[in-house]
């Protein structure tokens, strides 16, 4: 009887450890997903603001009463914004791709747990 009790305890410990690890992984994925979504929104907002800034600066450059000393500053800002926008868009693409991967992993993990849970019934 002692051997069977030991086997049940080890099996129970293994199941508990696996469940704990699975729960921790889900929490990490959830945190990761939340952080990715925050960064995605931040970058999307930054692109909108940079585009708005460029439109404003271009309008300012077209004004007849624009100061000559502002032209260089505005043109430099437009150039920097124009360079930054595609960099941010590339990051947005990469984060979106990673979010889809995390969602797929979450769905796969949930499905495995559902499938695995029915084995014990």
Domain ranges of the chain: 32-119
Whether the pLDDT of residue 16 is over 50: the answer is: no
User: In the chain, helix, strand, coil percent, each to 5?
Assistant: 95, 0, 5
Q: For residue 113, what pLDDT band results from cuts at 50, 70 and 90?
A: low
Mean pLDDT of all residues in 62-82: 92
pTM exceeds cut of 0.75:
no
> Residue 120 carries which DSSP code?
T
Percent of the chain whose predicted confidence (pLDDT) is above 90 = 48
- Please classify residue 110 by burial: count the beta carbons closer than 10 Å to its beta carbon, then call 0-12 exposed, 13-18 middle and 19+ buried: exposed
Whether the pLDDT of residue 54 is over 90: the answer is: yes
**Each residue of 23-37: pLDDT tens digit?**
555 555 566 888 999
> Residue 24 carries which DSSP code?
H
What is the Cα–Cα distance from 59 to 70, expressed in whole angstroms? 12
| Residue 118 tokens, joined | 């029915």
**Each residue of 89-101: pLDDT tens digit?**
999 999 999 999 9
């Amino acid at each position: 009887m002692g051997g069977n009790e030991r086997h049940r305890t080890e099996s129970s410990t293994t199941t508990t450890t696996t469940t704990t690890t699975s729960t921790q992984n889900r929490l990490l994925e959830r945190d990761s997903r939340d952080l990715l979504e925050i960064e995605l929104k931040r970058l999307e907002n930054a692109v909108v603001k940079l585009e708005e800034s460029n439109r404003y600066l271009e309008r300012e450059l077209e004004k007849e009463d624009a100061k000559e000393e502002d032209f260089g500053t505005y043109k430099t800002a437009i150039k920097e914004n124009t360079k930054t926008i595609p960099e941010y868009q590339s990051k947005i693409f990469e984060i979106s791709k990673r979010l889809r991967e995390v969602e797929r992993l979450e769905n796969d993990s949930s499905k495995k747990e559902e499938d695995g849970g029915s084995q014990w019934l």
